[in-house]
Amino acid sequence: MCGLFCTFTTHMALILHIETSTPVCSVAVSLDGAVLFSRTEWKGPSHATLIGPFLDEALRVVELKGQKLDAVAVSAGPGSYTGLRIGVSAAKGVCYALKVPLIAISTLELMADTGLRSGSCAAFTGVRPVLDARRMEVYTALYDLDGRCLEAPHAQVVEAHTFDVELATGRIVFVGDGTSKLKAVIDNERAGFDEALVPLAENMAGLAERAYSDQQFVDMAYFEPFYIKDFVATVKKQLIPEK
């Protein structure tokens, strides 16, 4: 899932967007790349209870437009294992019901694109989205200011000197909820931090529109979220008294 910008064509589409990779749950609808509807719940995670009502509202907007939905775009990860499964399952359900194709958008690509479009990255030479991945680990990738992916998404253990090489040659802005871990260990004036940037459905419109124009769809039968790491269930320890 590397490569942010594609060749733009004149074909426009009515697209439903779903983003559930973090505790924030969001759904949006766009037409010709412009957002018509957006619903976001910041107090999460409660995706399982929210996604149904959000989708009902979004599909009512599509119905009121008097047009057929052209595709569904889903934020495909990395991120929360449970959140991603809920989002992808919901996206597939709509696609099967309405017989429309599925578009998968890298969550890190979405974050980088959001930062670049906001203009907050102008003072830097690169943008590195970072998502919390437990302990001192993050999911991350690196993009230049033209949106080119310079380092593919991966899990990275964060230490004081982890990003010294790239900070020695450029100014990097770190965006996303993983920046709190980085700020605690990175002391470098060439590093910037934007912890407030969150992947949202309403910001998927541009990437999804380009993917639709280029017919970049995924196989619904086999598509799975991009977890990067295998899911590990945790079990609370319980002391058993001796007999």
Q: Tell me: the pLDDT tens digits for 118-161? A: 988 889 999 999 999 988 999 999 999 999 999 999 999 999 99
Q: Would you state the pLDDT for residue 2? A: 53
DSSP 8-state secondary structure symbol assigned to residue 120: T
Q: Would you state the pLDDT for residue 44? A: 81
Architecture of domain 108-194 in CATH? Answer: 2-Layer Sandwich (3.30)
Reported as a pLDDT band with limits 50, 70 and 90, residue 112 is very high
The 10s digit of each residue's pLDDT in 185-238 is: 999 999 999 999 999 999 999 999 999 999 999 999 999 999 997 654 444 444
Rounded-to-integer distance, Cα 96 and Cα 10, Å:
27
CATH classification number, 14-107+199-213, choose in 3.30.420.40, 3.20.20.150, 3.30.9.10, 1.10.760.10: 3.30.420.40
| Bridge partners, 14 (sequence order) | 31
Identical fold between 14-107+199-213 and 108-194: yes
What percent of the chain has pLDDT above 90?
A: 84
What are the domain boundaries of the chain?
A: 14-107+199-213, 108-194
Residue among 36, 40, 32 at smallest CA distance from 13: 32
